[in-house]
Amino acid sequence: MREVDVSLITDAVKRMSMEANTRLGDDVIATYAACAEREESETGKSILEQLQRNAAISGETGLPLCQDTGVAVVFIELGQEVHLTGGELKEAVNEGVRRGYREGYLRKSIVADPLRRKNTGDNTPAVLHVDVVPGDKVKITIATKGGGSENMSGIKMLKPADGVEGVKDYVVERVREAGPNPCPPTIVGVGIGGTFEVAAILSKKALLRPLGKRHADPFYAALEEELLEKINRLGIGPMGLGGSTTSFDVKVEVHPCHIASLPVAVNIQCHSTRHLETEI
């Protein structure tokens, strides 16, 4: 067994929650520039340029890229040879969020109860997904997910007979319905298969793959390409003001499922896609 003190997890979550909110990935910056170049609408181009300026200002000043610094969604792949010491895993993650959101001057956007809605004041609790995997490492991924794009997500339990056409129709319909609301150009995460809850988690995990990187299975890689093309024909454009860049990318993840089922979940991510990973 390898012993890992949970304070290392707290430190990593703190650092990453601050960094993710002020620095976009190189893939995202490159995508902004490439899309600004080929966007057909002048207004759309100007918005893509504003996104680039915003990223530069955020990097220079340390101000968050967006005021919605999100719910901290934390994925941990916990090696089964690891023995965690020094405290509870969940509390260690929450402490990292608490410190990062305080010290990074990030917004506290979590209410303690969905209906009584009192702000917890420290952006905790995080949403934590833990998978036990082979090995002796702890891989931590944090996605700080804004509410505006999350609200435009959806799930549908299709019939197997609906097939791939049913999946395409649902995904494109979700993006059409969302229109300007989720801060396009978006990234569209699609989870197909599994059960109701597995499809939803897959659609969120799909958003973690770097922009431009296709699914390893050529069948799904082709589906991603086709969906992206259909979505970009909708005309929604940057911030919904019309244009040829409605989404930067579509990511599909799949899972085996029941003979009676074909779940499909769509998790929409705004243009400010913020996530980081590290390994302890």
Partner 1 sequence: MSDAIRLTTPLTDADVEKLKIGDRVILSGVLYTARDAAHARLVDLIEKGEELPFDPQGQVIYFVGPTPPPPGRVIGSAGPTTSYRMDSYSPILISKGLKGMIGKGKRSKEVVESMKEHKAVYFGATGGTGALISGCIKEAEVIAYEDLGPEAIRKLVVEDFPLIVVNDAHGGDLYEKGRALYAK
- Chain residues binding partner 1 by CB under 8 A are 40-43, 46-47, 50-51, 53-54, 57-58, 61-69, 105-109, 117, 119, 121, 147-148, 151, 179-183, 233-237, 239-244, 270-272
The least distance separating partner 1 from the CB of residue 70, rounded to whole angstroms, comes to 11
> By C-beta, is 51 or 252 nearer to partner 1?
51
The least distance separating partner 1 from the CB of residue 93, rounded to whole angstroms, comes to 21
> By C-beta, is 69 or 203 nearer to partner 1?
69
CB of 232 within 8 A of CB of 244? yes
The least distance separating partner 1 from the CB of residue 278, rounded to whole angstroms, comes to 23
- Cα distances from 87 to residues 9, 91, 95, 212, 268, in angstroms, run 11, 8, 11, 39, 35
The least distance separating partner 1 from the CB of residue 208, rounded to whole angstroms, comes to 19
Q: Which residues contact 116 (CB under 8 A, 6 or more apart)?
A: none
| 24/26 Cα distance (integer angstroms) | 7
> By C-beta, is 237 or 263 nearer to partner 1?
237
Closest CA to 167 of 214, 213, 219: 219
The least distance separating partner 1 from the CB of residue 16, rounded to whole angstroms, comes to 17
> By C-beta, is 39 or 253 nearer to partner 1?
39
Q: If 0-12 CB within 10 Å is exposed, 13-18 middle and 19+ buried, where does residue 19 land?
A: middle
Lookup: tokens for 127 = 């949403």
> By C-beta, is 83 or 117 nearer to partner 1?
117
CB of 171 within 8 A of CB of 156? no
> By C-beta, is 135 or 180 nearer to partner 1?
180
Closest CA to 103 of 16, 18, 11: 18
Report the amino acid identity of residue 100.
Answer: G
The least distance separating partner 1 from the CB of residue 52, rounded to whole angstroms, comes to 10
Q: Where does 73-215 have alpha helices with state H?
A: 89-103, 147-150, 163-178, 196-206
Residue 277: its H or E element: strand 275-279
> By C-beta, is 32 or 75 nearer to partner 1?
32
Cis before residue 263, ω within 30 degrees of 0?
no
The least distance separating partner 1 from the CB of residue 229, rounded to whole angstroms, comes to 10
The least distance separating partner 1 from the CB of residue 189, rounded to whole angstroms, comes to 17
CB of 272 within 8 A of CB of 27? no
> By C-beta, is 204 or 271 nearer to partner 1?
271
